[in-house]
Structure 1
């Protein structure tokens, strides 16, 4: 008689919460008590914290699988290094648990906090959930326990919370801390000195709170400033509450109002608008670098704000695209309050950048006292042109194909005028996710007046990683391959290509 096939067992990833056994959920407790196999991770030479939290719930006779890490410090003689050692370890663990699941056993993997939040369970989930029925039971995170320990509101209303691993490079960590309202920093231990330095650079050190072993018997918390780096364990968290407090209801001045009133007595209200160039830091002018080192606030589109090095006392105000006027008003309000502010743009701020938006917003009489100063930057068209020779050697025009602020009919009219005038043409903003036909439309208009052999240069991400340059012709231009990262230069009738593939336009071109 053929034995009946064994029904595969079920896999559970069960969160235990941050350490206090009373924070284990009812569902987690039930599943642990009903398990055939309970698995848990443990460090080299250490007992499992997860097992310690939940051991009182283990049923009699349960099979235990201690998944013990082969290495925890990153130092190993494995041929594949730390990553290779850990990959092999997770494969071995998955194979051990699969044996139980194939035998029809219920396997519960217990994890501190939540199973899918910086936890080891996720590596078993990746390897087993596609083969066996799987359920994840959420747990109270260490974040919730840490904020409860310090009894400090973390974020409120529209504040943004950012969760950061302390293993990030120090400049990146400082930048992200400066860009957010509230923050949680995890994975401390040996990274603590770097994290503390990043907090200081971001101007967040005074408010940062250190919580050790949240919800456990050994729990303690104190200001980060007072922490001895030599005593910091891995199981610790830094809580950085949002600086957004509702002082208005109790009549206290905001930080901007208070500091601004003092600053305004020292100097006239001024707003700087600076161009960061199109790509690498070496293309930022010394004048702009000096200005950015002096201001207290940087305002701009997030990718450009992110290019400004973080330092102590610098406040960053990053926003999304298409909100230029709101961004400009915010900068003007800060400047009017006496703050030292720079609005940043890629390339040159006066070429399809933030300068025009700031001047537009400044027409409001409330900003009449704010002096505006624009500092130039290298433009994208200069960078592309230099990479391929001298295509701008004679008269040229520059246009944007974006019809967000002007109608397409006007763009068509200007394209025809430039074509008829036989000017070299630089094209910014040629395409986007929502504008997919305009390059082809512009190509057709230009071909009405230009030879199919007209030289065309396509520069993508010039000065950045992934830079590419293509010299082609107007007829062969692949419009479908053009996106927002590209800048086009359409040559005049006299634009030439050298034997080495460089382009140039004679100064006498007509």
Structure 2
């Protein structure tokens, strides 16, 4: 005779008020054979307290007591190892009831799948037993209801953050979002307050404790005593769109947008002028990898976006500047060399009231050339091999002209995941005009820890090994390599013999 297995339910109880338990959750609890719940060491279960009036008198209660709650443990695997073993044990205890054909309800505060302990046993058991998750009102929904103030609206982005994140990461994410919820406070509270201050989000941030419970309280984060903060608390950071703007009391300064070249990588290549500008602005706008190079500080908001929306990014920055904000658009290398400066000026016709200042930076070609020696000591040309904004036929014409003119050539954006043939095409075109022994330089990630620099010839250039992290320099006929492997191009060019 086959024994019918039981069914497992993960039941959300909401944030604390028993009246916020859903009707479905109440029905399942009242009909459960086994009611399981987690609790801290030496503590009573908050989940059981919420559902106490619903637990049937004949139900088996499984108390799942955490082995550790503070992060201090003698377990060889540390805190994570201790909890991993604990959840395996929990799953085994529940499985025994399920194998006996019992209906098991695991109580979860808030929602079972939102920072809940239930999710770990769910993942272990769902392939072996029938399971169902009953959602619950999350704590942050109760907190915003307590405050009775909008959190986000329309296209605002809401980010939910654990207070256990490292402080710099927490500050970065707070500065990059519209509205935020910060959970898991307790001992993390002082660090969270510091991150809010760095991100310029402390003003308006509200602290809510034990939302929906009889002992609930709320007040501005800046007024909270850190020693009084329990685990059952969170911080609500409303989006700027939900906060009433203050009355203007002074005329706005002239609108100014600054475009800053960050150099090709290491901080030591950031100019003093660029550093001063970045320290003076309240907003940094740019492609995400470049924005991420700007350290978070108090009052700075960072706006990162993708790699193919340059004009949209420029318009966003111009709008901010026109509204009176102090804004910098950042670009790798020099912003005027295949960078954001041209995109800003492309969008600037619609913003005649915004002045634009370009702050130069060390360009990638300068960095690679310096690492190689002095290959651009004479006349040279610079080309981006990307055909996203210009047709390949135009690039072919220009490469032929550069090859015929015998100019040193620097090549940006030589390849990408979708462009894998163009370096070989460039090689073929230049070999129509240059000797196979023409010097070729491949610089990859120059200035970073992974940097490499190879000196080869035009004929031996391995086109398949070139990627987006590379910058190429193809020498002129006069470019030379010293016995020490340094590359240079003489400044002088002999006069051509008119008689051949």
Query: 1:335 matched to which residue of 2?
Result: 321
CA distance in 1, matches of 2:450, 2:96: 46
Aligned match of 2:200: 203
1:311 — aligned with what? 297
Displacement of 1:68 in angstroms is 1.4
Q: Is the 8 A contact 1:13 1:121 kept in 2?
A: yes
CA contact (8 A) 1:494 1:509 kept: no
Q: Could you give the per-residue CA deviations for residues 103-137 of structure 1, whole angstroms, max 9, x where no partner exists?
A: 44333322111112111222223322233333222
* Distance change (3 Å), C-alpha of 1:126 and 1:269: same
Match of 1:174 among 171, 183, 187: 171
Contact kept, 8 Å, 2:110 with 2:137, in 1: the verdict is: yes
Cα 1:5–1:348 shift into 2, 3 Å: same
Q: CA deviation at 1:497?
A: 6.7
Alignment of 1:445 onto 2:442? no
The CA distance in 1 between the partners of 2:436 and 2:34, in whole Å, is: 73
Runs of 4+ in structure 1 displaced over 6 angstroms? 496-500
Q: How far, CA to CA, are the matches of 1:387 and 1:151 in structure 2?
A: 60
Q: TM-score, normalised by structure 2?
A: 0.88
Question: Is structure 2 residue 42 aligned with structure 1 residue 45?
Answer: yes
What is the alpha-carbon distance in structure 1 between the residues aligned to residue 447 and residue 308 of structure 2?
Answer: 24
Q: Distance in 2 between matches of 1:338 and 1:436?
A: 44
Q: Which residue of 1 aligns with 2:77?
A: 80
Match of 1:250 in 2: none
* CA shift for structure 1 position 40: 1.9
Deviation track 1:382-436 (CA, whole Å, cap 9, x = no partner) reads 3344455555455433221222221121112222233334444332223345444
CA spacing shift, 1:34–1:377, aligned 2, 3 Å:
same
TM-score, scaled to structure 1: 0.86
| Deviation sequence 1:421-464 (CA, Å, 0-9, x none) | 44443322233454444344434434544556655554444444
Task: Specify whether residues 229 and 492 from structure 1 end up closer, same or farther in structure 2 by C-alpha distance, changes over 3 A only.
Answer: same
Which residue of structure 2 lines up, in the alignment, with residue 362 of structure 1?
A: 348
For the residue of structure 2 that corresponds to 1:206, the secondary structure is: coil
Report if the CA contact (8 A) 1:208-1:241 is conserved.
Answer: yes
SS at match of 2:390: coil
Question: Would you say 1:157 and 2:154 are equivalent positions?
Answer: yes
For 2:6 and 2:434, the matched residues in 1 are separated by 71
The equivalent position to 1:402 in structure 2, one of 357, 361, 386, is 386
Is it true that 1:14 corresponds to 2:3 in the alignment?
no
Q: Distance in 2 between matches of 1:201 and 1:75?
A: 29
Give the conservation status (yes or no) of the 8 Å contact 2:379–2:407. Answer: yes
Deviations 1:462-491 (A, max 9, x none): 444655556666566555554434433445
SS in 1 for 2:211: coil
The residue number in structure 2 matching 1:251 is none
Provide the secondary structure at the position in 1 that maps to 2:240: coil
Q: Structure 1 residue 274 and structure 2 residue 260: aligned?
A: yes
Alignment of 1:447-466 (within 5 A): 447-450=431-434, 456-464=440-448
8 Å CA contact 1:392, 1:504 repeated in 2: no
- Partner of residue 59 from structure 1, selected from 56, 59, 66: 56
**Corresponding residue for residue 127 of structure 1:** 124
* Secondary structure class of the residue paired with 2:172: helix
Which range moves more in the overlay, 383-392 or 46-55? Answer: 383-392
SS at 2:95 equivalent:
helix
1:372 aligns with 2:356: yes
SS of the residue 1:383 aligns to: helix
Output aligned runs, 1:97-108, within 5 Å: 97-108=94-105
Q: After the TM superposition, which of the residue ranges 90-99 and 491-500 deviates more from structure 2?
A: 491-500
> Deviation at 1:291?
1.2
Residues 23 and 246 of structure 1, relative CA distance in 2, 3 Å threshold: closer
When the two chains are superposed, the root-mean-square deviation of aligned CA atoms in Å is 3.0
Which of the numbers 249, 262, 287 marks the counterpart of 2:251? 262
The Cα of 1:150 is off from its aligned counterpart by 0.5
In structure 1, how many angstroms separate the alpha carbons of the residues matched to 2:205 and 2:165?
18
* Residue 239 to residue 504, structure 1, CA distance change in 2 (3 Å): same
**Alpha carbons of 1:496 and 1:90: their partners in 2 closer, same or farther (altered >3 Å)?**
farther
Contact 1:394 1:505 in 2 (8 A): no
Report the secondary structure of 2:91's partner residue: helix
| Residue 239 of structure 1, aligned match among 218, 236, 239 | 236
Deviation at 1:48, TM superposition (A): 1.6
8 Å CA contact 1:14–1:137 kept in 2: the answer is: yes
Mapped to 1, the partners of 2:398 and 2:454 lie a distance apart of 25
- Cα distance in 2, alignment partners of residues 343 and 79 from structure 1: 48
- Report how many residues are paired: 493
1:147 CA drift (Å)? 0.6
The Cα of 1:357 is off from its aligned counterpart by 1.8
Counterparts of 2:448 and 2:37 in 1: how far apart (Å)? 45
* Unpaired segments ≥5 residues, structure 1: 248-253
Q: Are 2:87 and 1:90 equivalent residues in the alignment? A: yes
5+ unaligned residues in a row in structure 2: which ranges? Answer: 494-500
